[in-house]
Amino acid sequence: MVKEIYEEIERLKKEKDAVILAHYYVPGEVQACADYIGDSFYLSKAAVNLKASTLVFAGVTFMGESAKILNPEKTVLLPDTTADCPMAGMADAERIQRMREQYEDLAVVCYINSSAELKQYADICVTSSNAVDIVKKLPNKNIYFIPDKNLGSYVAEQVPEKHVILNDGYCYVHNQVTKEQVEEIKSLKPGVEFLVHPECPAEIVVLADYVGSTKGIIEYATKSDKKEFIIGTENGVIWELQEKNPDKKFYVLPGGQTCASMKKITLEKVRDCLKTGSGQVEVNEKLRERSKLPLNRMLETAK
Ligand code: 13P
Ligand code: SF4
């Protein structure tokens, strides 16, 4: 049955001139049918200059939206248009405006995990893998980091020469990790390294042996001589970690970390959107023009 769906997806990809991009957090069997698998930064780069006329984005809505903003001439399909990221809208246009009035040299730095609606107010976008480098490179002293307070606080810590103003958005999957959960697994697995995503709160990040994006975590564990790791990010990464490192062991935090929206993406939905052309992403031209600027600036600055 599953084998038949994979075959159907392969056939449809050729028929519709389509490629599939998948984030590490979608279910493993969906990652297995993808042409490009990665973290948000990798996927945003991969989405540019693809030859295929249709891109299927196996991820949440802001990811499909970014792909469409960067490729207006292409058809971008979302297998499930209700797969929203709750953090994507957690900032406020009026507050951004007030900040701009208060700080003359303000740079509004917007995590790519945000809606186009929000990106249009930003000077530059960042992802978890390039936020520190990009903020370092900005000429501005005052930075308003939206929407994620935790990634913002990690950047503030890493770039002390800047004045980083934090917003109050967060990713519920990472923000809910507690010290008690980390202590519990560390006591069960003494000496095992703890690898953490910077969307986790600062009090969790300080307990980590490595802090980085999903791709960073996968690369770190893959290059390491160590054989066991505790993973402090969404459990979808375990699939790629295990693919790349069949001889290593990965432990998730007690209770696990699951993004309900990412898990809405199933093989059947990928097949169906390819078959029927459903889930087309549309971004109106004015919004697209405005939100494209910070995205392109990120791609340029991160080169
Ligand atoms: P990265 O892909 O940048 O690691 O971000 C994680 C995330 O929360 C994606 O939704
Ligand atoms: Fe949004 Fe967090 Fe899910 Fe990523 S893991 S899509 S940031 S809720």
187 phi, psi to nearest 5 deg? -75, -30
Q: Render pLDDT for 210-261 as a digit per residue (tens, 0 to 9).
A: 999 999 999 999 999 999 999 999 999 999 999 999 999 999 999 899 999 9
Rounded distance between C-alpha atoms, residue 84 and residue 122, angstroms = 20
Whether the pLDDT of residue 41 is over 90: the answer is no
pLDDT of residue 173: 98
With a 6 Å cutoff on the Cβ, whether 28 touches ligand 2 is: no
pTM to 2 decimal places: 0.96
pLDDT of residue 77: 98
Structure-block tokens of residue 291: 């939100």
Ligand 1: residues whose CB is within 6 Å?
Answer: 25, 39-40, 113, 127-129, 171, 199, 213-214
Q: What is the 3-state secondary structure (H, E, C) of 213-240?
A: CHHHHHHHHHHCCCCEEEEECCCCHHHH
pLDDT of residue 221: 98
With a 6 Å cutoff on the Cβ, whether 261 touches ligand 2 is: yes
- Per mean pLDDT, which range of 19-28, 42-51, 163-172, 177-186 is the poorest? 42-51
The mean pLDDT of the chain is 97
- Candidate of 171, 174, 237, 263 to mutate for ligand 2, largest count of ligand atoms within 8 Å of Cβ: 171
> Whose C-alpha lies nearest to ligand 2, atom 6?
85
Return left, alpha or beta for 256; rule: phi > 0 is left, psi -120 to 50 is alpha, else beta.
Answer: left
Rounding to the nearest 10 degrees, give the CA dihedral for residues 8, 283, 89, 78.
0
Q: Render pLDDT for 100-152 as a digit per residue (tens, 0 to 9).
A: 999 999 999 999 999 999 999 999 999 999 999 999 999 999 999 999 999 99
Query: For residue 288, how far is its CA from the centre of ligand 2 (angstroms)?
Result: 22
Q: How confident is the model at residue 68 (pLDDT cuts 50, 70, 90)?
A: very high
Please, are residues 24 and 250 in contact by the beta-carbon 8 Å criterion? no
To which residue do tokens 């009090």 refer?
A: 203
Provide, rounded to the nearest whole percent, the portion of the chain with pLDDT above 90: 96
Whether the pLDDT of residue 175 is over 90: the answer is yes
Query: For residue 84, how far is its CA from the centre of ligand 2 (angstroms)?
Result: 8
pLDDT of residue 299: 94
With a 6 Å cutoff on the Cβ, whether 112 touches ligand 2 is: no
**Which has the closest alpha carbon to 148: 123, 174, 124?**
174
Structure-block tokens of residue 263: 């898990």
pLDDT of residue 154: 98
Rounded distance between C-alpha atoms, residue 224 and residue 192, angstroms = 12
Query: For residue 263, how far is its CA from the centre of ligand 1 (angstroms)?
Result: 14
Whether the pLDDT of residue 155 is over 90: the answer is yes
pLDDT of residue 303: 82
Rounded distance between C-alpha atoms, residue 180 and residue 233, angstroms = 16
- Candidate of 126, 127, 240 to mutate for ligand 1, largest count of ligand atoms within 8 Å of Cβ: 127
Give the number of the atom of ligand 2 that is nearest the alpha carbon of residue 60: 6
Q: How many CB atoms lie within 10 A of CB 3?
A: 7
pLDDT of residue 44: 87
Rounded distance between C-alpha atoms, residue 270 and residue 34, angstroms = 10
Reduced to 3 states (helix: H, G, I; strand: E, B; else coil), residue 98 is: helix
Burial class (CB in 10 A: 0-12, 13-18, 19+), 251: middle
Rounded distance between C-alpha atoms, residue 119 and residue 130, angstroms = 17
Give the number of the atom of ligand 2 that is nearest the alpha carbon of residue 234: 5
